[in-house]
Amino acid sequence: MGPALAASLQLAGHRPVAVSAVSEVSRRRAAQLLPDVPVMPPAEVLQRADLVLLTVPDDALPELVTGLADTGSVRPGQLLVHTSGRYGARVLDPALRAGALPLALHPAMTFTGTPVDVQRLAGCSFGVTAPEELRLAAEALVIEMGGEPEWIAEENRPLYHAALALGANHLVTLVAQSLELLRTAGVSAPDRMLGPLLGAALDNALRSGDAALTGPVARGDAGTVAAHVTELRRHAPQAVDGYLAMARATADRALAHGLLKPELAEDLLGVLAHGTEGTDGTEGDAR
């Protein structure tokens, strides 16, 4: 994420002065997106920069901020921006006490480490959290990167991040599992089959929410769902728990929104609660 954001700011007129990169992969990304920008240790990056982007994993952020503040690396008046979805501005309190100006700017986007990331920032929403007096500065930086600022209260950051992870990260897992199962079923081009279907499903869901639900769970086809579970037990047992969990969630939402008829829900929920017969003829437990 770091090189992509820095490259985007460079296009807006900012001048990258240094980048920190440890692994060979991160060094290659920096060289590709920020050519001729020197690679330096974090403390030296802070010595050179008026605006610093901290683009590290969530769990590493508090220790990094504390370390930079304790070693005197943070300068008064320095804009310190982290890109963690989980944290708001308070995680930067050690730097704030050292005089830094804390901003939390999280792009709601998945990154590949290639130049396409810069293009994808155009129109991307950013979860923004900052002290009120820095709100305009934070939103201005997002707009300079081509993004759309969305204000997130400090206490809502974990929920905001959970929502994005639920939608985006789990989507990758679901699609990858679906691709594997289609290959097992003999489909020669599963990506070509899934592309239009998933694109339409995503578009419908964004437009209509739960009203876009279709398929055997929403219809209450308990027999079809039981057949699915049987086949998954036989060919992909590692996918059974995920299928059942998502089917239960789908059934709950379909019931709540009047899509699943109550008289059809009993058999369906029975299948989801107790599983179906295992491949050895014994009653399986899907939980």
Q: Which of 98, 71, 67, 102 is nearest to 84 (CA)?
A: 102
- pLDDT exceeding 70 applies to what percent of the chain? 95
State the pLDDT at residue 283.
41
Confidence of residue 105 (pLDDT cuts 50, 70, 90): very high
CA distances (Å), origin 151, targets 95, 135, 147, 236: 22, 9, 13, 42
State the pLDDT at residue 113.
85
State the pLDDT at residue 135.
96
User: Would you tell me how many other CB atoms lie within 10 Å of the CB of residue 276?
Assistant: 22
Q: What is the pLDDT of residues 234-255, one digit of tens each?
A: 999 999 999 999 999 999 999 9
State the pLDDT at residue 282.
40
Q: What is the pLDDT of residues 72-96, one digit of tens each?
A: 999 999 999 999 999 999 999 999 9
Q: Which residue has the tokens 């590949």?
A: 112
| Beta bridge pairs of residue 129 | 104
102-106, 108-112, 270-274: which is most confident: 102-106
Q: What is the pLDDT of residues 157-191, one digit of tens each?
A: 999 999 999 999 999 999 999 999 999 999 999 99
Confidence of residue 280 (pLDDT cuts 50, 70, 90): very low
What's the residue count for the chain? 287
User: Would you tell me how many other CB atoms lie within 10 Å of the CB of residue 81?
Assistant: 23
Q: What is the pLDDT of residues 28-51, one digit of tens each?
A: 999 999 999 999 999 999 999 999
Q: Which amino acid is at 8?
A: S
State the pLDDT at residue 222.
94
State the pLDDT at residue 224.
95
Q: Which amino acid is at 95?
A: A
Long-range contact pairs involving 162-167 (C-beta distance under 8 Å, separation at least 24): 164/85, 164/108, 165/85
Question: The tokens of 40 are what?
Answer: 């330096």
Q: How many Å is the maximal CA-CA distance in the chain?
A: 71
Confidence of residue 22 (pLDDT cuts 50, 70, 90): confident
Higher-confidence residue: 282 or 252?
Answer: 252
Higher-confidence residue: 286 or 206?
Answer: 206
State the pLDDT at residue 274.
75
Q: What is the pLDDT of residues 115-149, one digit of tens each?
A: 899 999 999 999 999 999 999 999 999 999 999 99
Return the half-sphere exposure (C-beta side, CA atoms, 13 A cut-off) of residue 256: 8
CATH classification (class only), 2-152: alpha beta
The structural domains of the chain, with segments of one domain joined by +, span 2-152, 160-274
Asked if the model's pLDDT at residue 279 lies above 70, the reply is no
State the pLDDT at residue 285.
40
Question: The tokens of 99 are what?
Answer: 């005089």
- The answer to which of 100-104, 204-208, 275-279 has the lowest mean pLDDT is 275-279
